[in-house]
A and B are shown apart, each in its own frame.
Chain A
Amino acid sequence: MNTFAKQNPLPRINKQTALAAIPVQNSEVTAVTLASGQILIRYPVTLRPWLAKWFRRFKGASPQIRSRKIELDPIGTDVWQMIDGKRTVQEIIDEFAQIHQLPTAESESAITQFLRDLGKRGLIGMQE
């Protein structure tokens, strides 16, 4: 296997296509509503292959799946609840702007950044 082979870049999508995508919550994620009304997200984290191998060698057993927790703030909680697998990114932006009386551009910037962060952690996926 040639590890250093040049990888093909991911296909670029335009803004309209990105806003028409539907964010979907990862089924492995568990979300608990706290007494404060905010949401606590618990998601599994898999070890990197070389670390898993090291665990197996020295601990003699397969490593347990670790999990991480994130407590969302009130704004994050609102957006997380809007990710229902039906609303598009644009619909979430519009609804968020309407609820919080924000300009659409500001709402768009906040929501897209938040969804990007959730995506990087593997908490959501995008459905076209």
Chain B
Amino acid sequence: MALTAKQIAWNGLQFSIPITWELAWIDSHHLTFDSHGSPALEIKWAPIKGRYSHRAQLKKLTKGHKTHPSKTISNWQLPATWKQALAKYSCQGFCWQTDSASGYGATLHCPVCNQAVIFQIFDINKHLSDPHLLNFLKTLADHREDGFIAWKVFDIQALLPKSLRLNHYQFKPGNHQLALVDKTIKVRLYRWAPASALLADAGLAAFAAKALPVSAEQLNNTSIQEYPAVEMRPPDVSGWYRQMVRWGIKPALKWSLVWHIKTSNRILGISLESKKPFQPDQMTQFSDNFCLNLS
């Protein structure tokens, strides 16, 4: 069976979309997708403070949206199939129309995580009969039960603890980065491509030393999931670290791992930074849950 849908997961929200839809805009709580060069789907989400009101959320989430003719937004009766697919949410449909464009969508409220989601489908007549649209609605989830948050955009995917909050992201051609933080640790995930060009002049260690940046002498050759890798392990904290803490100085400990996936011509990397000593298997927990998504 041909693969016709792909999964997207970003900052707590996850859903499936047709494989032909491409991510056109990414922000921490805002995504838009294009279909063959024209806009197809826009989705925004935000946690709620206080009582939830569909009208207030619609106003808040469409505020400052230059292309959105807010004055002409009107209520829209959601189709029965949509209501059934979105049964776990309290939802309200809306629509707007101009001479050249139209949008049909809904504001959703999840009573479990108290989060509001607003989405709109452009060119509804083209997509309404599309079974993928119903699949998008059925798979739309704004929280997970397992205490993790999934990240699945472009060609990277990761499953990270819920406590890690998005701090920074970058999706430049050839260089994708995701930085997350919590109270004790800073995590950076990297994806570089094309590896053949990046490693043409020097080996993986020299590349990692330049990209992270770390000293090349600190990097040791290793392997991860049968791929060649270089690792900079944190220093032993038994003696000097305790002494520094006693003096009131708490230097950040760093642990970095970079590996080369030859089969897909890409390089992946993880960098951990913490003021507390790492658990022995902490890097393995992150590296096992970070991989390429080539579907």
Contacts and interface: CB of A to CB of B under 8 A. Distances in A.
- Do the two chains belong together in a single complex? yes
B249 interface: no
A111 to B, nearest CB: 8
A16 B196 CA distance: 30
B173 A101 contact: no
Contacts of A106: 154-155, 173-174, 193
B37 interface: yes
A75 B22 contact: no
Interface residues of B, number: 16
B165 to A, nearest CB: 26
B194 A102 contact: yes
A103 B194 contact: no
Q: How large is the interface on A (under 10, 10 to 19, 20 to 34, 35 or more residues)?
A: 10 to 19
A16 B36 CA distance: 10
Contacts, number: 40
A89 B173 CA distance: 17
A103 B155 contact: yes
B197 A15 contact: no
Contacts of A103: 154-155
A106 B37 CA distance: 15
Given A101-B265, A105-B22, A75 B37 contact: no
Interface string A94-123: 000001111101110110010000000000
Nearest to A103: B155
B154 A74 contact: no
A78 interface: yes
B90 interface: no
Given A74-B200, A100-B197, A110-B174, A15 B37 contact: yes
A100 B173 contact: no
Interface string A8-31: 000000011000000000000000
Given A74-B200, A100-B196, A109 B37 contact: no
Contacts of A16: 37
Interface of A: 15-16, 36, 73-75, 78, 99-103, 105-107, 109-110, 113
4 closest cross-chain pairs (CB), A and B: A100-B194, A110-B173, A101-B265, A74-B197
Interface of B: 22-23, 37, 154-155, 173-174, 193-194, 196-197, 200-201, 264-266
Given A16-B37, A106-B193, 12 more contacts: A74-B200, A75-B174, A75-B197, A99-B194, A100-B196, A101-B264, A103-B154, A105-B22, A105-B154, A106-B154, A106-B155, A110-B174
